[in-house]
Homo-oligomer: A and B are copies of this chain.
Amino acid sequence: MVWILASFATAASAAMSQDAAKPLQTPAEVVAAAPASEWRAIDPQDLLVIDFSGGGRTVIQLAPAFAPVHVANIKALARAGYWATGAAIYRVQDNYVTQWGLNETERALPPGVVKLPPHEYWLDRQPGGAAPLALKGADAYTPAAGFLGNWPVAYDAKALSIPHCYGYVGVARDLAPDTGTGGELYAVIGHAPRQLDRNIAIVGRVVAGMEHLSARPRGQGALGIYENRASDIPIASVRLAADLPAADRPAFEMLDQASPSFARYLHLRANRKDAFYERPAGGVDICNAPIPVRKKAP
């Protein structure tokens, strides 16, 4: 069977390369060979676990360092059982977003949830704060792009934001000054709509079960809304991993952006030159070099 080779090779082929003592040639091989010391566990307090009534689990890593008020709202909503009944995916717009949740006209916000969070879209960089690891090459939307705290960032000298990459999760909002409570969330399911970067708060990224968002039927109404509410895809529960029974608790880890393996991975994402590729690009855009995340053994 003829096929284009995937961007991520199988673990088996990575292992073979090591056995043969060949240099690691693909980004996936480098990630598979990264030692345990280069991986960082993700706090189970930062993992939002969505189980769908029809089966399927999606896990989102929240980003409290970048959108603290919105993320605190989302945690409070999960713990209050806000989405435990009546919440659903109600919008799937091709090459744009899948959106789900409830809003305050449908269900009153529980105590402690901030109704109008601040604009956590374009954050002031801290004087003396850590500098991002700069991605070599140009960004079409901001003067620079790179990585900070194991998240992608687009930035200039004064401010930064997490870009709207595939699988990244933001807080739906109406027209400004609304900033969204966190009751309704969306995930990017197409090419990065970076025009949203400095206009909506990104609160996390999907680390597992992306297909339960991306492979849903597209809505036929305006903006991809399901015209018939009977088409909605119901959510059974939304919980933090920390609150799940140990046997059912998902665990993940991410490759440290400061590790040698990440540097090699990034180089190879920009310079593919293995048996399949003839001409390396010499560059890569920020949304085409995702931070590697994998399941962690319990």
CB under 8 Å from chain B, chain A span 115-157: 119, 121-122, 137-142
**B172 adjacent to A3 (CB under 8 Å):** yes
Q: Which residues does chain B contribute within 8 Å of A282, judged by CB atoms?
A: 141
Nearest CB of chain B from residue A19's CB, rounded to whole Å: 18
Which 6 pairs across A and B sit closest by C-beta, in order of nearness?
Answer: A138-B138, A198-B279, A140-B285, A6-B223, A166-B191, A211-B218
Q: How many copies does the complex hold?
A: 2
A: number of interface residues (CB 8 Å): 79
A275 at the interface (CB under 8 A from B): yes
Nearest CB of chain B from residue A29's CB, rounded to whole Å: 14
- In angstroms, Cα B140 to Cα A287, docked, is 11
Nearest CB of chain B from residue A108's CB, rounded to whole Å: 14
**A95 adjacent to B200 (CB under 8 Å):** no
A139-B138 in contact given A7-B195, A178-B2, A194-B285 (Cβ < 8 Å): yes
A257 at the interface (CB under 8 A from B): no
Extra contacts, 12 of them, besides A2-B172, A139-B140 (Cβ < 8 A), are A2-B173, A2-B183, A4-B97, A4-B196, A7-B96, A92-B215, A121-B278, A140-B285, A175-B276, A190-B214, A199-B278, A199-B279
